Amino acid sequence: MVGIGARASRLDLLAASLRPGLAALAVLVVSVSLLISPASASAISTTIHIANTSGEGVFIRPEANTGRPAIGWMPEGASPDFHCFVWGQNINGVPIWFNVTYNGVTGYYASYYDDSSYHSNEELTAKYGVPLCGQATSPAPSPGAAPASVPPPSSSPAGIYSIIDAAGGVFFRNSPSWNDSRQVPGEGVYSGDQVQLLCGAFGEAYGPYSNRWWSYVQNLTRPTAGKGWVNAHFINDGMPANQPSPGESTCPASVPGAPGGAGSAPAAATRSVFFWPEVPNSMQISDMDINAGAWYSHQACTPLPPAPLSIPGSVNTLAGWSLGRLGPMYFLHLYPERWSQIHTIILFDPGSYGDMTSSSPSAGCDSKLTQPSINEMLAKWLQQPGNELLILAGRNSEEKPYHIPGTEIYWGDPKFQGLWNFYFHNLWNTKMSGRAIVCDYDNLRHDLVLNYFYQVVRATGLGFRPDGCPVSPKAPLPVRWSP
């Protein structure tokens, strides 16, 4: 086993599917073979039935792909015993496969051929009671012989992927640093190994594309190899450099080798700040997250915080979600002398015209900030060299004109009235308009805009501002435009 990697970068994400109810999961072909062999597994009865087969039924496969001959068959309308689900080969835009038992045969079938409907891994489990494989009480039974059983990961897994560009083997690292390795033979990964991603973190750059994202993984193909840090360059997840794998969370301080913990970044290293709205939070979005009680005074929409904020001069990225959109605006209003230091502002689904004109004391302040207004301020701030406004828009900001009450069905051309009135008015038809980028994720729920894309805040602060609109396998492909 050597410590030298190959030259190829992580693959670009190619496209997204359009299956109704699946929120356009990405065309991410991941050949998954679950290397787990428990003595028994619990069966889950659900309301899912085989469908979309034109009466022909569907094959049961030994793996979550069509690469091997079928080992069974289920007729249209059948409802097998479910065990868990995995991401596997993309079938007509759907990469989810269920592990099931039917007529004594246990294996996988593609979820395209059933009547289920879901937007994410979490919703699938909540709606039907079927967990992600590896998170089940009893893991999926294997259709054939397999190595000794692998204990479930100690933290929430993001997915199972294969290793690439490591033909000679790559040692596990003790932390997100290339030189931090014990170099014990066998402790690491080879090309073709299947690994379970447990979490990740930014660290030392590696490879021709200076990839700074590292994943803490468990080797499933060779369980005796254990766990360790692997640069994302070697993980075949379809994501570009410097981006986490789909659903991958930042490692907490309890993970061996994790760089610090939530909120532990020293002031000198702080590059990004995130402003929370008035909601409880448990996520760590940036180097320095600020709760609403610290930045928002609740009095007459004044930009003055309840107590002075100490935001280091090293900060180059400001971000906010929902009402947190006002955090960066208030900072610009109070500190015009620092406009040349703040190069990126990221707003996650900032809101509608109603949100920005509400009489509620916790909203409506966008329209009340004057001298300068937000419109004037952004136009002047964007004149600074290298500055960019990135807005990741979802359902709230789109403001589609039609909605069926009691449903999540919205349609019609999005209006973006709030953004046009209070953020873009002074950018229209100017040379700065191209520095304001809107990435519109069609009808994506307000909270999911943040959940799917929060990683871009820290990445941008470290110097990896998205080249275009970020993508997620769980979200629709974005439409990019500028005012």
Total of domains in the chain? 1
**pTM score, two decimals?**
0.56
Cα(171)–Cα(193) distance, integer angstroms: 13
Residue 180 maps to a domain = no
Report the chain's terminal Cα–Cα distance, integer Å. Answer: 53
Tell me: the pLDDT tens digits for 68-117?
778 888 999 999 999 999 887 778 778 889 999 998 889 999 999 999 98
Residue 125 maps to a domain = no
Share of the chain above pLDDT 70, in %: 81
Q: Identify which of 12-16, 19-23, 225-229 has the greatest average pLDDT.
A: 225-229
Tell me: the pLDDT tens digits for 282-321?
677 888 999 888 898 776 788 888 888 889 889 999 999 9
Torsion angle, CA of 97/100/106/112, rounded to 10 degrees?
-40
The confidence score (pLDDT) of residue 243 equals 77
Residue 404 maps to a domain = yes
Cα(246)–Cα(163) distance, integer angstroms: 16
E strands along 92-210, which residues? 94-102, 105-110, 159-162, 170-171, 188-189, 194-206
- pLDDT classification of 29: cutoffs 50, 70, 90: very low
Which neighbouring-strand residues pair with 438?
391, 481
Residue 181 maps to a domain = no
Tell me: the pLDDT tens digits for 329-364?
999 999 999 999 999 999 999 999 999 987 666 667
Contact 309, 270 (CB under 8 A): no
Spatial neighbors of 55 by CB under 8 A, at least 6 apart, are 76
Q: What is the DSSP letter of 155?
A: S
Percentages (nearest 5) of helix, strand, coil residues in the chain: 15, 25, 60
Residue 352 maps to a domain = yes
Cα(222)–Cα(237) distance, integer angstroms: 19
374-381 vs 326-334: helix axis angle to the nearest 10? 70
The helix/strand/coil state of 228 is strand
Residue 172 maps to a domain = no
- pLDDT classification of 5: cutoffs 50, 70, 90: very low
Q: Distance of CA 124 to CAs 22, 103, 117, 472, Å?
A: 10, 24, 8, 17
What CATH number is associated with residue 318?
3.40.50
Domain that holds residue 272: 267-481
Residue 195 maps to a domain = no
Strand 94-102 and strand 105-110: pairing?
antiparallel
Cα(412)–Cα(391) distance, integer angstroms: 21
Residue 117 maps to a domain = no
